[in-house]
Structure 1
Amino acid sequence: MFGKMLEKLSGGFSRLSGRTDLLEGIAAAAALVAAADGDIEDEEVVAVLAALENHPVLSKSFKSSEIERIADTMLKRAKAGAAGRLGLMREIEEAKARSSVEDLEMLLVIAIDVSNSDGEMEPQEKVVLGKIAKTLNLNLSTYLDL
């Protein structure tokens, strides 16, 4: 069983290598969740970076500096009002168009992890997660119970 899991993860490493469109979509979703209450606090920035850099597939597929650069770009866009948030949703749509269901599940679950990083999911965060899940054609409630 562990061998199959390791094989699946290692396949993810090579599958994602160089796929910045997916990393951008994941970072965009994380930034949208962090900005759900209208403000991005320092703790939320740390949570976004930790979720991306500590993910077993992402951390093997991308250099830390690339993850930080893309996360920073997406967090800045999230602070840019409605135009920035619309751009982030487009990043998610672009990732959807080029990704497998497994990749899209990873995107959504990382966004959920960012939401739960402070110990609870705020109502505004759940609304944003619902929009992200709908965009990805995924059922949010399926992933909230994991």
Structure 2
Amino acid sequence: MARDMSIEDRQAIDRTLALQGHLFDRGELDRLEEIFTPEIVYDLSDVGAGTFEGLEAIRSGALRLGAGNPVAHHVTNTVITSHQDDLATVQSKGLIIMADGSVSSVTHFDTLRRDDSGWRISRRVIRAQRTPLGGLHLTHAGER
């Protein structure tokens, strides 16, 4: 399915995902409607920050975290896993840099919808990468 998506749609999706990091890193929370639908569900429960529903909840949550927010968000390895008409599912990797210099890796699981404004994220689930090989090495530890 995803291979039939136009180059323009792929570029627009990449731009939306990339813009998210720029807006958060610059604190431009008044521009979140450029990347999220109004009814966005942003699930950060895997990293202990809960789930936010709607643009105002995301803004309030980011402001509440204050200095606990990452200072840099980097999105890479974007893969459109499926699409149909005005709906696409996308996985991407994220590197998050904190003020103390620590770095974390996450995977974004996104659903994007296209409307008159373009492609916007309607659901985002973030999962932390905590073990090498997704934990596969733990199941094969005795096979050396």
Q: Which has the higher contact order (CA 8 A, sep 6+)?
A: 1
The reply to whether TM is greater than 0.5 is: no
User: Which structure's CA Rg is the greater one?
Assistant: 2
Q: Which has the higher strand share?
A: 2
Give the TM-score, by structure 1 length: 0.32
* TM-score, structure 2 as length reference: 0.32
